[in-house]
């Protein structure tokens, strides 16, 4: 069965998937209906310049609204904090720990020293990933608890 909606309306309908799922489920049908009605406004019909102006306005509005709706969910804050905390902790530790602990003894070959440095970097990376996961879980629990109140 072929849809009778215009290409603009179908593109707008697909773009609504950029919104958070709960917002999209609640408001998507109304938004598509309003978009379709606005697109068929007598002032725009038959005027290519007016239709393009409408499209640009709707794209800008969509971009702004998507960002605002995601910010309201709290997820961007969780993501940023989840990454910044472990990276800041590793950076602080790197500045506090004496560098002699990581110095390669003189008797070790260059190849072995590079391998040792790679092992150290992988270990630090795994610790940052583990800390990121832990911080994310803690923040998600606190956000879920706050929403229940």
- Tell me the whole-structure pTM to 2 decimals: 0.54
Q: What is the pLDDT along the chain (149 residues), one digit of tens a residue?
A: 445 678 888 999 999 999 999 899 999 999 999 998 888 877 766 676 778 888 888 999 999 999 889 888 877 777 787 778 777 877 887 777 766 666 666 766 666 777 877 888 888 888 888 888 887 788 777 766 665 55
Measure the CA–CA gap between 75 and 20, rounded to whole angstroms: 10
Chain-centroid distance, C-alpha 122: 25
**Tokens coding 22:** 């709960």
């Amino acid at each position: 069965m072929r849809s009778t909606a215009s290409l603009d309306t179908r593109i707008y309908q697909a773009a609504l998937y950029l919104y958070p799922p709960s917002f999209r489920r609640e408001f998507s049908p109304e938004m598509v209906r309003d978009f379709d009605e606005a697109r068929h406004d007598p002032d725009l019909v038959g005027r290519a310049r007016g239709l393009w102006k409408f499209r640009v306005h709707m794209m800008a509005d969509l971009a702004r609204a998507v960002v605002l709706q995601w910010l309201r969910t709290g997820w961007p804050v969780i993501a940023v904090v989840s990454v910044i905390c472990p990276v800041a902790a590793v950076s602080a530790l790197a500045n506090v720990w004496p560098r002699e602990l990581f110095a390669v003894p003189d008797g070790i070959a260059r190849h072995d020293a590079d391998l040792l440095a790679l092992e150290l970097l992988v270990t630090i990376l795994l610790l940052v990933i583990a800390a990121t996961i832990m911080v994310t879980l803690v923040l998600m629990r606190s956000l879920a608890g706050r929403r229940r109140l």
